[in-house]
Structure 1
């Protein structure tokens, strides 16, 4: 993915400084103050009247602008070899900046900005969900900073009006989208922060099911940070509160969120080797899925009988039982699988690449990676877990890997 700024390679360094200063929404005076320079000095640098001869000064400017110094020098920044992904540090900085805004607090002291109409926010948020569910990570991360700012502005501006619950609901969704994207792309601290924000906002929206799905984002962030037992407890706790009963029957939406919580709990249990709890939760999720009568995407859960099977396979892989995972994989109805969202299917291919590798079938593991790349290229090229799986497949392969695998590994930046 190429950043918008990288198209400025041929511009003088002063113009590049001005570009990033404007992108950071800093005036020349604010920029000068942060550098400890005069506004006149900044103006001369940006107009090319004053040259930037010292690397130390250029590096200090880069720090203030929160960009890689290589960008200011007109070069593509080097990526960390252990974490190649499809979100560059510019998007990370902008998403972090957006998450650190506190528009609700500011609204107590200042008139909030003119919010975007809620109809526009609904459309933009729905589009972001579709982008996530199709695993178009580069497209999503480029749109998230603006979406976050607008959703936060709307939430602050509509506070105390009839539009407040919907504005909070939309912001809760945007936080969940952000959390899922950041966790998948390896930005775990941002995944946790966005998930935590989504909980509070969802409660303000007055929607238990939205809060239930937000809980899974928090739990998944905890799991990504290695806190599997906490993830298990929070999933099960909220699932129990949403369990259908005589007074609150299981609507399709409620069953979906309840079952989704159970599936995420099962994954957390598998990560700590608690196979008994894992099986109990999977069986309960299957009961909910059978009550639903098919695979649906209520509250963006993709929940249903087929997704339960995908989680059975994934949980078995986490336990190191690739044989069980492969058996489950082979039992999945192909048509039902094709009807799932691309991101869900692509993630399953990565899980099964791990599963086949566990039983020593490296050829089939490679085929799973190729299937994933064909279905959703960004899923395998952008996610750190996919790079780990590819490295494992290459390491286990006897002799040179097949040409298709070697080519894919090269495109991913994974050494053969």
Structure 2
């Protein structure tokens, strides 16, 4: 069981920040009504006491109501773990690399564009495998060198390479809790997409930016942005199924967090339709790093059920993420699914099975699980709920530094 000397949990941090803002539980609950369906005072009290999980939707709504970032409530970035992995120094280098806009970095002999493109393909693999430390070590130099090529040659190919490097920066920094840097990288990526003369690249920047909007409980603006992006998709292009499918899946999660289950189910149906269309026409599934596969659609069905707290439906849908379906999942998405299911199992009082799902996530993608706020939150919840910690849970909690 947690003590006052343990690292501050999310529920305790929420209570502390609420009190620091001079708000009662009722006043904070009232403010969440402005973000969507809102939460009652009694629900908020259960979250603060650790009796209910602070789900992503709850954390986002509370952060917006308090005028804070989600990272503030989660306690991100997790500096101790980042330092151990050698990522802290990389973030500073990446911030500097993204600062070059009009004038290129002073690099006299950047590597040939062909070599940089090959490395960017490797970066794509590292993103899928969630190997944050190795990715971080490569990324600053790739951003700088592709910036040199883009600004000095102005070729669409060079701008496309720079765009890929910047998108990788968006994804890495968001996962690690550096929201401001992720936002900056997204702005840079949008400008590069326009210079590359590829409208679908700009559409996918919007798709990725909505993750940041989701974290701020900006459900309706994010859904509107995705609807606008969908209208920009050229359906004659072979990558249109992937782009539209990714938009529908993101929209489904946004709608679920906003409390509109019917809209979420409608978006899932549209994503399923795009999945079938891609299969019938042998369209590419990963041109933009979305890995839009049958497995990805299946885990989003389960994720939506978790978001609307229909845990029975989530478990039924989880049963379909097996065999050939599961085989289409990249490590990042597969591990994330196990974390989602751990949330559901913890909420319905099945701590042993919840821990097993966290262990499976860690086996598939160790760094993703270590840095994932919800994985840490579920682990903390399991710790708080038990007087005597089983050895596997103690080891997991120790690795995550939540005890």
TM-score range, shorter chain: 0.7 to 0.9
Q: How many residue pairs get matched?
A: 322
Q: Secondary structure at the match of 2:259?
A: coil
Match for residue 274 of structure 2? 288
Match for residue 320 of structure 2? 331
Give the structure-1-normalised TM-score: 0.72
**Are positions 1:152 and 2:140 aligned together?**
no
What is the distance in 2 between the residues matched to 1:316 and 1:174?
34
CA contact (8 A) 1:183 1:224 kept: no
CA contact (8 A) 1:112 1:156 kept: no
Match for residue 410 of structure 1? 398
What is the distance in 2 between the residues matched to 1:139 and 1:301?
21
The verdict on how the C-alpha distance between 1:169 and 1:243 changes in structure 2, with shifts beyond 3 A counting, is closer
Q: Which runs of no fewer than 5 residues in structure 2 stay unpaired? A: 1-73
Match for residue 137 of structure 2? 142
Per-residue CA distance 1:110-158 (angstroms, 9 max, x = gap): 9985443110110111111111110101111122211111121121121
Match for residue 128 of structure 1? 123
- Which of the residues 98, 103, 106 maps onto 2:103? 106
Larger Rg belongs to: 1
What is the distance in 1 between the residues matched to 2:108 and 2:218?
39
Match for residue 63 of structure 1? none
Give, in angstroms, the shift of residue 324 of structure 1: 1.6
Give, in angstroms, the shift of residue 335 of structure 1: 2.8
What is the distance in 2 between the residues matched to 1:301 and 1:359?
31
CA contact (8 A) 2:97 2:143 kept: yes
Match for residue 186 of structure 1? 177
What is the distance in 2 between the residues matched to 1:236 and 1:304?
21
Q: Secondary structure at the match of 2:288?
A: helix
Give, in angstroms, the shift of residue 174 of structure 1: 1.0
What is the distance in 2 between the residues matched to 1:273 and 1:86?
34
Match for residue 238 of structure 1? 229
**Are positions 1:199 and 2:199 aligned together?**
no
Match for residue 379 of structure 2? 390
Answer with 210-219 or 184-193: which moved more: 210-219
Give, in angstroms, the shift of residue 224 of structure 1: 2.3
What is the distance in 1 between the residues matched to 2:323 and 2:206?
31
CA contact (8 A) 2:295 2:327 kept: no
**Are positions 1:372 and 2:361 aligned together?**
yes
What is the distance in 1 between the residues matched to 2:127 and 2:149?
22
Match for residue 202 of structure 2? 211
CA contact (8 A) 1:370 1:405 kept: no
What is the distance in 2 between the residues matched to 1:411 and 1:289?
38
Q: Map of 1:253-402 to 2, 5 A cutoff? A: 253-293=239-279, 296-396=285-385, 398-402=386-390
Q: Secondary structure at the match of 2:188?
A: helix
What is the distance in 1 between the residues matched to 2:265 and 2:234?
18
Match for residue 228 of structure 1? 219
Match for residue 88 of structure 2? 89
Match for residue 119 of structure 1? 114
Per-residue CA distance 1:157-191 (angstroms, 9 max, x = gap): 211xxxx1111111111111110111111111111
What is the distance in 2 between the residues matched to 1:334 and 1:401?
33
The verdict on how the C-alpha distance between 1:291 and 1:188 changes in structure 2, with shifts beyond 3 A counting, is same
Q: Secondary structure at the match of 1:360?
A: coil
What is the distance in 1 between the residues matched to 2:256 and 2:138?
34
Give the structure-2-normalised TM-score: 0.75
Per-residue CA distance 1:288-319 (angstroms, 9 max, x = gap): 01112289423211102221111121122222
Q: Secondary structure at the match of 1:86?
A: helix
Give, in angstroms, the shift of residue 98 of structure 1: 1.4
Give, in angstroms, the shift of residue 409 of structure 1: 1.2
What is the distance in 2 between the residues matched to 1:319 and 1:367?
23
CA contact (8 A) 1:94 1:145 kept: yes
